[in-house]
Amino acid sequence: MATLLLVTDEAIIRKSIQMGLEKQGHTILIAESLQAAKQVNTAIDCV
């Protein structure tokens, strides 16, 4: 399945979406802000 980057500062929403997507077989990367998302994005090898 896909690896997805989930960006939201709402912990309850983040956990709910994460759990649903993981049940579907996706790998979820989490960021709580745009700045954190940029750091996650530069830390991984995007193809």
pLDDT tens track for 1-47: 899 999 999 999 999 999 999 999 999 999 999 999 999 888 777 66
Write down the residue that tokens 């989490």 correspond to. 30
Predicted pLDDT at 29: 95
Predicted pLDDT at 46: 61
Q: What DSSP line would sit under 9-47, residue for residue?
A: S-HHHHHHHHHHHHHTT-EEEEESSHHHHHHHHHHS---
Side chain identity, residue 7: V
pTM of the model: 0.79
Q: What number of helices (H) and strands (E) belong to the chain?
A: 2, 2
Predicted pLDDT at 21: 98
Predicted pLDDT at 31: 95
